[in-house]
Amino acid sequence: MKMLKTNRCETAIVVGMIHNKQFRSQVNEYLDELILLAETAGVVTKLRVTQERDRIDPATFIGIGKVQEIAEIAEREQIDLVLFDDDLSPVQIRNIE
C-alpha cells in the first residue's frame, strides 16, 4: 500500500486556565511554550483561549459554557486538536470529548 503525503498541517486551539493565585501573564507564558511544542510537532495553532475561574470545574476543567464555545469554534474553523496546558482527569477528558 502506498501512503500519500499531504501538505496539510493539523490545526489546534490551545487552552489555559487562570485560577487560584496564578497570574494571567504566567498562564500566557505556559501557553507560549505549549504553542512552541505544538509547532515542533507540526501543529499550527489557530487560537489561544484562556478561562478565568475561582477553581477548576471537576467535570470539564474550564466549565461547560467554555467547552461549548470552543467546540463551536473548532467545528466552524475545522480545528483538529484542542490542547490544554494542564493535565485533565479521565472524567474531564470524557466530558470534553
Domain boundaries, the chain: 10-96
The pLDDT assigned to 56 comes to 92
Q: Give kind and range of the element (H or E) at residue 57.
A: none
CATH superfamily of 10-96: GTPase HflX, N-terminal domain (3.40.50.11060)
DSSP type of residue 8: P
Per-residue pLDDT tens for 41-76?
A: 999 999 999 999 999 999 999 999 999 999 999 999
pTM: 0.86
